[in-house]
């Protein structure tokens, strides 16, 4: 039977397991990327593994998230990232060089390779034919140390593209249509593979816009074939040697298929506050807009911004609109500057922002109170812009530029004849802002300012676990409840002793102090504990404070995986009603826990304070049992080395 592209690449990288959807598999990782918000921790974890040089084919450290330096913390982090990269064989993309996913696509992406990145939009690399997956920093650190990446073998959904996009309709409208049809949960446990005759009509940056925002489907990743279009892109980037032809077999099959007729699509927007609340621009109508932002890892390529420049050329931004533009990379920025398009943008009244994530991660440009902002970004969650009551619409660059001129949400088809922006035959290639690692690592001193603190290391699981319940919480506790973020707390991300003071700060102000004083403890929670982001600090900081186990009625998937990674035992009540048998302050005991894990389906917990007992389920794979016993993935990896 013919194979699809995902099956081919996964089979070529398979280390453990079978390619059966739903089963755990381990794959070899060829490339890694990190960004600064997650990278400091990933490199502290890598250092703790004691591996002198990365074992991947290529690892790149980018600085694109916290580029504002309003205090010393971010600057300290940047110097640490630069020197730790030089010492351990990692390339370093300097602040100002661009957004990790855009730069990686331009300069490093290779069809058929695997890429693991500590950023959820790593699937952008699927636009060039990679299996590119977002993961926690510790998983990326393990991959850099040569370890495999474990994942649940996904189902492969084939999206058959037919037809060709009409004038003024763009790649963003394709992924918005996929989101409209599948919803933000439609990709969970799946990889989306694009196929069909319409693929050849899309450029690599257009494909990357589609795979980038596949993250909003909840998909493991998304991928396009590597064809003549890919070859032309790599050639224009001076990297033709990296090209290989890759695609599904003619008789390939998919678990599910969906057809999208590109010619039937219209300019669309995702309405507040979810990326899948998609309507056509015509359906929404000419609502008044206060701000337009063009950029982010979704839509900041050379062709995206050239189309915007062509629309704005010789015109003026509407007086009630603030227009901000952030080119995705230094390459894009320089090309716009040299060909005059940057002058057209400035003359039209655009505010030119640094080549970085900027407003996408809430670093500046928050809209006015109750404002309406049209953005070419990928997320429009309530409050993410920095203004709680703002309404964010996600659109293509064409819709954004047309809107910036009229002051109301506008369909670019009303602009008249479409603009043709060809892909350049040759991009400006200048990698001087990507620093090579040192040839002699012994000459490099890793610079650690006061904001860089050593990584706390957990101890192996004790034979018997006896500790107090430090906190009992209800249902739907998010990673924001556990480890809040924000401008004050985020700069402390490489200083676990400092950031851990804020664990559960908004829920129970005394939690951190009491946990630290107790030395070890339990947390008890209701349903869906740990929902929200993949933030690994929500497991790492409680581990630092001495939390040994969390007992809940149910867990959110990614947070449960992070708890295991940091050696915290995730347990669920065998009988959900038994949550009533535990109160804050009670002392719990699980006798012979280390011996019973992996052999018993349930464990008995004795409430020493009340004398009652109840059963809990660990539900761990043999590998996860070994990780918990070792005190976390870091210790486990060192044991295996």
Pick the stretch among 50-58, 353-361, 463-471, 559-567 that binds ligand F3S (CB under 6 A).
353-361
Nearer to ligand F3S, 101 or 560 (CB): 101
Residues marked active site are found at 64-65, 119, 379, 533, 535
Find the shortest distance in angstroms from Cβ 130 to ligand F3S.
16
99 binds ligand F3S (CB under 6 A): yes
Other beta carbons less than 10 A from residue 283's beta carbon: 11
* 296 touching ligand F3S, by CB under 6 A: yes
Nearer to ligand F3S, 170 or 378 (CB): 378
**Which window, 273-281, 357-365, 395-403, 494-502, contacts ligand F3S (CB under 6 A)?**
357-365
Smallest gap from Cβ 74 to ligand F3S, in A, equals: 15
Which CB contacts under 8 angstroms, 24+ apart, belong to 579-583?
A: 579/524, 579/526, 579/553, 581/607, 581/610, 581/612, 581/614, 582/469, 582/472, 582/524, 582/551, 582/607, 582/614, 583/469, 583/472, 583/609
Residue 558 vs 568, nearer CB to ligand F3S: 558
What is the length of the chain?
641
Among residues 144, 357, 434, 503, which is the contact residue for ligand F3S, using CB under 6 A? Answer: 357
Question: Computed over its alpha carbons, how large is the radius of gyration of the chain?
Answer: 25
Asked whether 126 and 221 are in contact (CB, 8 A), the reply is: yes
Q: Compute how many other C-beta atoms are within 10 angstroms of the C-beta atom of residue 115.
A: 30
* Nearer to ligand F3S among residue 178 and residue 357 (C-beta): 357
- Beta carbon nearer to ligand F3S, 99 or 176: 99
Site for ligand F3S contains 378 (CB under 6 A): yes
Least distance to ligand F3S from the beta carbon of 400, Å? Answer: 15
Residue 74 vs 458, nearer CB to ligand F3S: 74
Q: Nearer to ligand F3S by C-beta: 493 or 548?
A: 493
Q: Interacting stretch for ligand F3S, rule CB under 6 A, among 93-101, 265-273, 346-354, 387-395? A: 93-101
The tokens for 351 are 């505010």
- The answer to whether residue 535 forms part of the interface with ligand F3S (CB under 6 A) is no
Is 297 one of the binding residues for ligand F3S (CB under 6 A)? yes
- The sheet carrying 91-93 orders its strands as 131-134, 114-117, 31-34, 58-62, 91-93, 434-435
- Rank residues 289 and 361 by Cβ distance to ligand F3S and give the closer one: 361
Segment contacting ligand F3S (CB under 6 A): 229-237, 311-319, 356-364, 428-436?
Answer: 356-364
Q: What is the end-to-end Cα distance of the chain in Å, rounded?
A: 38
Strands 31-34 and 587-590: unpaired
CB of residue 101 vs ligand F3S: minimum separation in angstroms? 6
**607 is a contact residue toward ligand F3S (CB under 6 A):** no
The residue among 128 and 161 lying less far from ligand F3S, judged by its C-beta, is 128
Site for ligand F3S contains 97 (CB under 6 A): no
Residue 414 Cβ vs ligand F3S, minimum distance, rounded to whole Å: 29
Q: How far is the CB of 272 from ligand F3S (least distance, A)?
A: 17
DSSP H or E run through 15? strand 14-16
Residue showing tokens 């940057």: 342
CA–CA gap between residue 72 and residue 77 (Å, rounded): 9
Binding mask 46-85 for ligand F3S (x = CB under 6 A): -------------------x--------------------
> What CA–CA distance (Å, rounded) separates 434 from 432?
5
Nearest distance from residue 393's CB to ligand F3S, in Å?
A: 16
What kind and span of H or E run contains 327?
none
88-96, 99-107, 182-190, 547-555 -> range binding ligand F3S (CB under 6 A): 99-107
**Interface with ligand F3S (CB under 6 A), residue from 141, 192, 361, 558:** 361
User: Which listed range, 339-347, 355-363, 451-459, 585-593, lies at the site for ligand F3S (CB under 6 A)?
Assistant: 355-363
Question: Residue 170 in contact with residue 206, Cβ under 8 Å?
Answer: yes
Record the tokens describing residue 426, joined without a space. 């040759």
CA 30 to centroid of chain Cα atoms: 18
Round to whole Å and give the CA distance between 628 and 490.
Answer: 28
Do the strands 613-617 and 603-607 form a parallel or antiparallel pair, or are they unpaired? antiparallel
Q: Most distant CA pair in the chain: distance in Å?
A: 80
Minimum CB–partner distance for residue 481 and ligand F3S (Å): 22
Q: How would DSSP label each residue in 209-221?
A: HHHHGGGGGTBSE
Select from 96-104, 141-149, 582-590, 594-602 the region that touches ligand F3S (CB under 6 A). 96-104
- Report if residue 119 touches ligand F3S, rule: CB under 6 A: yes
For residue 416, CA distances in Å to 264, 311, 345, 412, 413 come to: 19, 10, 20, 8, 6
Minimum distance, C-beta of residue 380 to ligand F3S, in the bound complex (Å): 11
Cβ proximity to ligand F3S: between 103 and 165 the closer is: 103
Burial of 424 (0-12, 13-18, 19+ CB in 10 A): middle
Distance CA 396, CA 374 (A): 9
Q: Tell me how far the alpha carbon of residue 639 is from its chain's centroid.
A: 29
Q: How many residues of this chain bind ligand F3S (CB under 6 A)?
A: 12
Choose among 37, 6, 63: nearest CA to 118.
Answer: 37
Q: How far is the CB of 359 from ligand F3S (least distance, A)?
A: 9
Q: Does 242 bind ligand F3S (CB under 6 A)?
A: no
C-beta closer to ligand F3S: residue 297 or 402: 297
Q: What are phi and psi of 126, to 5 degrees?
A: -65, -20
CB 547 within 8 A of CB 458: no
C-alpha span between 16 and 28 (Å, rounded): 9
Task: Report the site for ligand F3S in 155-184 (rule: CB under 6 A).
Answer: none
- Token pair, residue 381, equals 């969650």
- Candidate ranges 95-103, 128-136, 191-199, 389-397; the one touching ligand F3S (CB under 6 A): 95-103
Interface residues with ligand F3S (CB under 6 A) are 65, 99-101, 119, 121, 296-297, 357, 360-361, 378
């Amino acid at each position: 039977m013919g194979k699809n592209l995902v099956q081919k690449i996964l089979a070529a990288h398979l280390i453990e397991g079978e390619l059966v959807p739903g089963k755990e598999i381990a794959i070899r990782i060829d490339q890694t990327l990190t960004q600064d918000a997650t990278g400091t921790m990933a490199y502290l974890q890598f250092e703790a593994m004691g591996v002198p040089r990365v074992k991947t084919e290529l690892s790149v450290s980018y600085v694109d998230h916290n580029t504002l330096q309003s205090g010393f913390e971010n600057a300290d982090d940047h110097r640490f990232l630069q020197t730790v990269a030089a010492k351990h064989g990692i390339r370093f993309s300097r602040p100002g060089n661009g957004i990790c996913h855009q730069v990686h696509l331009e300069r490093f992406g290779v069809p058929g390779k695997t890429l693991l990145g500590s950023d959820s939009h790593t699937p952008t690399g699927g636009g060039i034919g990679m299996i590119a997956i977002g993961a926690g920093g510790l998983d990326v650190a393990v991959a850099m140390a040569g370890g495999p990446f474990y994942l649940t073998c996904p189902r492969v959904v084939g999206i058959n593209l037919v037809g060709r996009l009409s004038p003024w309709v763009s790649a963003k409208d394709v992924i918005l249509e996929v989101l409209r049809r599948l919803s933000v949960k439609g990709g969970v446990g799946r990889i989306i593979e694009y196929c069909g005759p319409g693929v050849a009509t899309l450029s690599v940056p257009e494909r990357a816009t589609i795979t980038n925002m596949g993250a909003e489907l909840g998909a493991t990743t998304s991928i396009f074939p590597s064809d003549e279009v890919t070859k032309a892109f790599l050639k224009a980037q001076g990297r033709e040697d990296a090209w290989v032809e890759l695609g599904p077999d003619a008789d390939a099959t998919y678990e599910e298929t969906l057809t999208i007729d590109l010619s039937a699509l219209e300019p669309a927007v995702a309405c507040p506050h979810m990326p899948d609340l998609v309507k056509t621009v015509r359906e929404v109508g000419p609502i008044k807009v206060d701000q337009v932002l063009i950029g982010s890892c979704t839509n900041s390529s050379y062709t995206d911004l050239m189309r915007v420049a062509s629309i704005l050329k010789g015109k003026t931004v509407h007086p009630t609109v603030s227009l901000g533009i952030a080119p995705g990379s230094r390459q894009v920025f320089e090309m716009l500057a040299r060909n005059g398009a940057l002058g057209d943008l400035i003359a039209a009244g655009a505010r030119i922002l640094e080549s970085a994530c900027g407003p996408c991660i809430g670093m500046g440009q928050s809209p006015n109170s109750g404002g309406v902002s049209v953005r070419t970004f990928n997320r429009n969650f309530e409050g993410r812009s920095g203004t709680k009551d703002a309404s964010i619409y996600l659109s293509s660059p064409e819709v954004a530029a047309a809107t910036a001129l009229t002051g109301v949400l506008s369909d670019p088809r009303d602009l008249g004849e479409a603009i043709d922006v060809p892909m350049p035959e040759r991009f400006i290639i200048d990698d001087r802002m990507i620093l090579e690692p040192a040839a002699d690592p012994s000459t490099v001193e890793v610079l650690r300012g006061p904001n860089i603190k050593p990584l706390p290391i957990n101890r192996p699981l004790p034979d018997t676990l006896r500790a107090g319940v430090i906190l009992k919480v209800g249902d739907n506790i998010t990673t924001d409840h556990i480890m809040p973020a924000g401008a004050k707390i985020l700069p402390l991300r490489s200083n676990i002793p400092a950031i851990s003071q804020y664990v559960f700060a908004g829920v129970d102000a005394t939690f951190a102090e009491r946990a630290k004083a107790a030395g070890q403890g339990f947390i008890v929670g209701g349903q869906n504990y740990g929902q929200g982001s993949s933030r690994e600090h929500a497991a790492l900081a409680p581990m630092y404070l001495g939390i040994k186990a969390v007992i809940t009625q149910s867990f959110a998937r990614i947070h449960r995986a992070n708890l295991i990674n940091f050696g915290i035992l995730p347990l669920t009540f065998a009988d959900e009603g038994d949550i009533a048998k535990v109160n804050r302050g009670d002392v719990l005991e699980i006798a012979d826990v280390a011996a019973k894990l992996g052999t018993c389906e349930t464990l008995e917990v004795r409430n020493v304070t009340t004398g009652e007992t109840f059963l809990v389920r660990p539900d761990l794979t043999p590998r996860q049992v070994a990780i918990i016993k070792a005190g976390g993935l870091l210790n486990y990896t060192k044991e295996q080395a």
